Chains A and B, each alone.
Chain A
Amino acid sequence: MSRLQDTIAGARAEGRSALVAYLPVGYPDVDRSIAAMVAAVEGGADVVEVGVPYSDPGMDGPVIQQAVDPAVRAGVGMRDVLRAVQAVAAAGAVPVVMSYWNPVERYGVDRFAADLAAAGGAGAITPDLIPDEAGPWLAASEAAHLDRVFLVAPSSTDARLAATAAACRGFVYAASTMGVTGTRATVGDAAEKLVARTRAVTDLPVCVGLGVSNGDQAAEVASFADGVIVGSAYVRELLEGRGADGVRRLSEDLAAGVRRPVTVP
């Protein structure tokens, strides 16, 4: 059983893609970050990636860094993350933790899995952990019945795509390297190709994260992906002071987008 896969399949059954919202715990502070996550759910997010703040977020651009940095300085930790997980579950969406590997390892892999499951989390996305190095996490997620999501990239060989997808449960995260937002044709091409290659090796849903920032772009990605992952655009709502209301409005726009997939010419 996989809660993420069931949720995404449920969206598919409604003829749409799932909306996956990322927000980091602790910006502007823990309570308001949780309120923002709940607002994202109210606006229509199906899944919330609950971000663990990390001091060295090598995969993140300046927007997410700007929000995560003060959270790290404020000492936000796994206890706060678990509280956010509970709140998202209570709001009716599926929470999945998004964490660079060191905070998980420091907390203790088995302890993390057990506590996450107890808090109502569906699993975790680990952007800097490849299945080759994931032995303890594969075992712990198995024991706690958690989903585990690894990333694939346009540069992944077919053999790696297959092996990575085989290690995933819930969905496969297609990280298409983001060029400049707005160059949609090229961005869509790379992502769409990656999704097609991934589908060739797995039956799991494939979700795409590539810097989508509005409903129209969400609709475009929804035309080829099972889920649309949006991060920086949500964070920008908070950075620019629009708070939970801004997050809710953005979710509504994006949720409408994933319900009207367009065919890209």
Chain B
Amino acid sequence: MTTSAVHPPGERLEPAHPSWPDATGHFGVFGGRFVPEALIAALDELTEAYRAMRVDPAFIEEFAALQRDYTGRPSPITEVPGFAEHAGGARIWLKREDLNHTGSHKINNVLGQALLTRRIGKRRVIAETGAGQHGVATATAAALMGLSCTIYMGEEDTRRQALNVARMRLLGAEVVPVTTGSRTLKDAINEAFRDWVTNVETTNYVFGTVAGPHPFPEMVRDFQRVIGDEARAQVLERVGRLPDAVLACVGGGSNAIGIFTAFVPDDGVRLVGLEAGGDGVGSGRHAATITGGTPGVLHGARSYLLQDENGQTVESHSISAGLDYPGVGPEHSHLHDIGRAEYRPVTDAEAMEAFALLCRTEGIIPAIESAHALAGAITLGKELGPDALLLVNLSGRGDKDVETASRWFGLGDREHVEPGAGMDTDQQPIEGAVTSGDAVAGQDAGESA
């Protein structure tokens, strides 16, 4: 299967590898629907409307126009040789989802679901958000399409991603800080589901990742697969061959599925998901769901999750709000179990090291989420050597993270910031700010930011 030109966005919503999910949303043994009966009618309505919409030429055209004129697709790919010097000399290309309107891949999915909301005649949308990127994207689409919008966000995350809270409010959304449980993404999802059960007649739930009950994992994948469809064609065009590995960070897994999907049939291409390793998987304080979890049911689907012996969800930990989630999308669990994709943990410290490196070597400030994928590329590049060609999904930009990063590197709260304070000024922040001994300090940065 070769592709010589970039697909017009939206052209290929129907999966190229239709072997999963099945008609009721199962990816192997994962997925399905574990929700109150009260939501089944709404999920059925969404499934039917989505299946009709994705083959409707009018929708395809409108979606493509929005992606082109509003989001700015196709996003470019950028080779990063300066960064790659620190990754064993492998050739590394970034897929620039950070350049999308609103600053991440989340907008791809949201525009699709907002059009679907309009199609089923609902006037109100709700969403959960962790890093705030999905909340900002949803608030943006709601403003564009005249929908009323409520965003649930863990109180902890409203603090560490305060910039995005302000953005959502400027866009006219109501932001509800969630104070139950761990006060992060998991609890925001619980609150959003409670809202949906209560207001399902008027309200559509715009889910932000490839998790949740059927049809969300399938639908969000289809809206995100434009990332990989474009990138595959772009790499073939620019480099003349397929990459050896495609890397992406995995929270719920939408940017990763988005870039993986086009490559799933390409057996020679390794698919590598980078999970948030927090303080290290051995420490128990992490969000590496596939690496450190077991199969179970959470938020409406069967998948890997972090749970204790009683089946209670264990709180996750990550410096990255967008990856701080104890579950993962069912398609990733399936790709893991059949051996088609591999999942590796990246610690907070490793991610921040890669974050600093990209800033200094390439002039690109990545989202901390995306920095996990960059850290994975450093490790894999060293493993594979200079002949390797790696494609990394840069899922978002780091504006929202400057506060957290400044604290991590000791740059914040000072009147005169020394150039490069806390970072190695020799463009090698690897040994400078972020030694393993800083993991604890970094922990504080994550929690207090």
Binding site for B on A (CB under 8 A): 53-59, 61, 65, 69, 72, 75-78, 101-107, 127-130, 132-133, 150-157, 160, 164, 175, 177
Contacts and interface: CB of A to CB of B under 8 A. Distances in A.
B34 interface: yes
B311 A106 contact: yes
Contact of A155 (B42, B180, B193, B296): B42
Please list the 3 inter-chain residue pairs (A to B) with the smallest Cβ-Cβ separation, ordered nearest first: A106-B311, A103-B311, A153-B38
A155 B181 contact: no
B162 interface: no
A65 B180 contact: yes
Nearest to B201: A155
Contacts of B35: 58, 128, 130
A128 B311 contact: no
Contacts of B34: 101, 128-130, 133
B24 interface: yes
A177 B297 contact: no
A102 B296 contact: yes
Q: Report the contact-size class of chain B (Cβ under 8 Å from the partner).
A: 20 to 34
Contacts of A65: 180
Interface string B81-95: 000000000000000
Interface in B147-175: none
Interface string B182-199: 000010001001100110
Interface in B275-325: 296-300, 307-313
Which of B35, B40, B309 has most chain A Cβ within 10 Å?
Answer: B40
Contacts of A77: 309-310
Contacts of A55: 181, 312-313
A130 B24 CA distance: 12
B281 to A, nearest CB: 20
B40 A102 contact: no
Interface of B: 24, 32-38, 40-42, 180-181, 186, 190, 193-194, 197-198, 200-201, 296-300, 307-313
B305 to A, nearest CB: 8
Nearest to B191: A58
Contacts of A151: 36-38
Given A56-B190, A56-B313, A106-B296, A69 B181 contact: yes
B311 A105 contact: yes
A57 B159 CA distance: 25
B37 A130 contact: yes
B297 A102 contact: yes
Contact of B37 (A54, A58, A69, A152): A152
B303 to A, nearest CB: 11
Contacts of B197: 58-59, 177
Given A75-B310, A77-B310, A156 B37 contact: yes
A151 B201 CA distance: 19
A58 B32 contact: no
Nearest to A104: B311
B312 A54 contact: yes
B362 to A, nearest CB: 40
Contacts of A155: 38, 40-42, 200-201
A223 B40 CA distance: 28
Contacts of A54: 311-312
A130 B311 contact: no
B32 A133 contact: yes
Nearest to A62: B180
Nearest to A80: B310
A164 B37 contact: yes
